[in-house]
Amino acid sequence: MEILLAKTAGFCFGVKRAVETVYSEVENGGHIYTFGPIIHNEQVVSDLEKKGVVTLNSIEELLSVTSGTVIIRSHGVSEEIYKIIESKGLNLVDATCPFVKKIHRIVKEESQKGRQVIVIGNSKHPEVEGIIGWCDAKKPAIVIESHDEACNFTADPNEKISIVSQTTFNFNKFQELVEILSKKGYDVNVVNTICNATEERQKEAKDISSKADAMIVIGGSKSSNSQKLYEICSRECENTQFVQTSDDLNPDSIRSVSRVGITAGASTPKNIIEEVQNYVRLNF
């Protein structure tokens, strides 16, 4: 059996950096907290819990912390969270991905210039919640995700608009929405802040699944980028399965095929990818 393993499978640069940051803080000792789960991977989060790392799931939980280190994950957070951590005298370790950090800077500057910031993305995603939290409170950002939302957008005719994107947004959709907004006659400044890591991973997944007889997508159950990979692969290869670890594999769908493709979402650790790959190699 031939195994086609995606080169882009697993942690992206930002996630790898964030996870390594937590493990290295654990080594340093003391009370360690992450604001939100460090990644959408149950195995990693539970391993860190065993090492004493506590996940804070809300501002209220953050407010109840009296000492220790708070780590900000790769998605980033609003400016308010930084202020709370500093005001409480907690040790702040910032593992925000530098690509997300760049968006925070752009949004803050544009907003301070009096421009209306539009974020193309999903308003419920933590990264977007963090981004909009860097805008001037007097001029809150507007989040646009759909064709209809872009068509319905209106503002003062003299409004100056600055558009950025959630890092994992689909590039074609971003272009489509930007085109709709640009035709409305406002002074528009567009900064494409989509991260290449997602696009490259999706392209490779599409390519491999189109050649495979069976496709395995490895990811956390709550990982939206892994779910998206599953959708892409399912369109190319009917025999696609989504697993969190090798325990979830359905052997019947792999048994009699000659080519198996494997990819994994940005929150899947290398050891889980290797474990699935070895399982397939040794058992079929």
Residues lying near ligand F3S in the complex (CB under 6 A): 12-15, 74, 97, 99-100, 167-168, 195, 197-198, 266
Residue among 99 and 230 whose Cβ is closer to ligand F3S: 99
In whole angstroms, what is the distance from residue 67 CA to residue 30 CA? 9
Q: Among all residues, whose Cβ is closest to ligand F3S? A: 14
Q: Phi, psi at residue 168, to the nearest 5°?
A: -100, 15
Least Å from the CB of residue 36 to ligand F3S: 13
Q: How far apart are CA 116 and CA 89, in angstroms?
A: 33
CB of 29 to ligand F3S, least distance (A): 27
Task: Tell me how crowded residue 46 is: count the other CB atoms within 10 A of its CB.
Answer: 9
Closer to ligand F3S by CB, 167 or 202: give it.
167
Mapped onto helix, strand or coil, the DSSP state of residue 189 is strand
The residue (of 97 and 260) whose beta carbon lies closer to ligand F3S is 97
Q: Which residue blocks in 39-146 are alpha helix, DSSP H?
A: 42-50, 59-63, 79-87, 98-112, 126-132
Query: Shortest Cβ distance from residue 139 to ligand F3S (Å)?
Result: 25
> CB of residue 92 vs ligand F3S: minimum separation in angstroms?
19
Residue 236 is a catalytic residue: no
The nearer residue to ligand F3S, 131 or 197, going by C-beta atoms, is 197
Q: What is the CA radius of gyration of the chain?
A: 21
Read off the tokens for 120. 């193309």
Q: Catalytic: which of 127, 129, 145, 204?
A: 127
Nearer to ligand F3S, 35 or 99 (CB): 99
Measured from the CB of residue 197, what is the shortest distance to ligand F3S in angstroms?
A: 4
Contact (Cβ atoms closer than 8 angstroms) between residue 162 and residue 136: no
Where b means 16+ CB within 10 Å and e means fewer, 122-149 reads beebbbbbbbbbbbbeeeebbbbbeeeb
The packing angle between helices 13-28 and 98-112, to 10°, is 100
Which residues are catalytic, by number? 127
